[in-house]
Chains A and B, each alone.
Chain A
Amino acid sequence: MEITASRSWPAPPRDSLAAARQRWEDNFGESRPAAAGDSVFAIRHELNRLMTEKVGVFRTGAELQEAAGELAALRQRYRRLRVPGREAPFRYDLVEYLETGYLLELGEIIAGAALRRTESRGAHYRLDYPARDDRNWLKHTFIRRGEGGPVFTSGEVCITKHLPGERGY
């Protein structure tokens, strides 16, 4: 069975490692201004609420579009935060900072993939596209990290023995 066929991972952008390192080093330490009155706790809390309210199981294109805008704003705020600078054991504030950065990326991935998929399938229920649409969306979503955020592409589903179909119950 060739479930995964011969798909290979796309090569990472050549400069991405260097860029990631630079971003990390620029961010680390006390030299950057702290965003007055803002905190990683506030950003994470707002992210939680946003994802629950607008990117839950039941979603609409309009809400997802709004969510994408709000996620971008949260990311802007996150970028202005001062990173807890000292790397030392049990720096849970640093862990919180790092986790929140990854959660923001995941939020963008989930909202972006849900916005593209103009159909309903499993736990992805688009109130504006309530029907399953195998003609256009019997597809995998592939996501990779681009310089300006996640990049989405689609890939064929490899079907072997069991034909996919709508649930009959």
Chain B
Amino acid sequence: MRLTLRVARYDPGADVDIRMQKYLVEWERQETVLDVLFKAWQQDPTLAFRRSCRSGICGSCAMFIQDGPRLACQTLVGDLAGDGGELTLRPLPGFRPLKDLVVDLDPFFDALKQVIPWVLTVPGHDGRVAPEDSRRIEGPATCILCGICDAGIDSGGNVRPAALVKNVRLAVDPRDALGAQRMKVTGLTEEGLQTFRQLLARICPKGIELPAVALE
């Protein structure tokens, strides 16, 4: 089967704005968007895009695919296009493009730092976590920091989406000294958090479901 990939190109040294370039590629039923992007790259090795694991675990390949932000390695071409169809790839919206599909992630990681993204251990805690607590942590702990939520939805509060996910993960951790107090910084109401929970479950490539957490 054939496919026309329309890929955003941007060379900061030469271009004022993004321009779209077309690549004609062959594809097969089981192939992912990342697979066909590799083929475009072999036609034109100057094309830049981030990737590493090819298996939905490193979070590098997030981009705007057709009509929304997705992981290229976890999206099947066949789910979005047919034989002779077109597929459009752009850099993640809301992020500054650096080259082609590569964006500046510094603001994303800076936003994360805002929530002190590590466990501040309760003094003297023996480190043991009950299975029920562990199950609550598990959802948000699955985050691969791909940036898709930041690109696609609003947190409705003071911290950006991925930082909010990290904050909830720490707020429900019994080893953390701040615990539920962490939620204060978000400025969210019960309702706002519920809305975010639903938006996230729809867009997150890891299907993260946020556990209930007390808003003090």
Contact = CB atoms under 8 A, between A and B. Distances in A.
Contact of A93 (B46, B98, B100, B102): B46
B100 A90 contact: yes
A107 B42 CA distance: 23
A71 to B, nearest CB: 22
B42 A90 contact: no
B108 to A, nearest CB: 17
Contacts of B48: 90-92
B13 A84 contact: no
| Interface of B, helix, strand, loop or mixed by DSSP | loop
Interface in B45-64: 45-49
B99 A90 contact: yes
A39 B42 CA distance: 9
A79 B45 CA distance: 18
B98 A89 contact: yes
B109 interface: no
Given A90-B48, A92-B48, A41 B42 contact: yes
A159 interface: no
| Interface of A, helix, strand, loop or mixed by DSSP | loop
A88 B41 CA distance: 17
A39 B43 CA distance: 10
Interface string B134-157: 000000000000000000000000
Nearest to B13: A88
Nearest to A40: B45
Interface in B92-121: 98-100, 102
B98 to A, nearest CB: 7
A30 interface: no
A96 interface: yes
Contacts of A40: 45
Contacts of B98: 89-90
Contacts of A96: 45
Nearest to A41: B42
B13 A90 contact: no
A90 B102 contact: yes
B53 to A, nearest CB: 15
Contacts of A41: 42
B45 A93 contact: yes
Contacts of A89: 98-99
CB-based closest 7 A-B pairs: A93-B45, A90-B48, A90-B99, A41-B42, A90-B102, A92-B48, A89-B99
Interface of B: 13, 41-42, 45-49, 98-100, 102
22 contacts: A39-B42, A40-B45, A41-B42, A84-B45, A88-B13, A89-B98, A89-B99, A90-B48, A90-B98, A90-B99, A90-B100, A90-B102, A91-B46, A91-B48, A92-B41, A92-B45, A92-B47, A92-B48, A92-B49, A93-B45, A93-B46, A96-B45
Given A90-B102, A92-B41, 11 more contacts: A39-B42, A40-B45, A84-B45, A89-B99, A90-B48, A90-B99, A91-B48, A92-B47, A92-B48, A93-B45, A93-B46
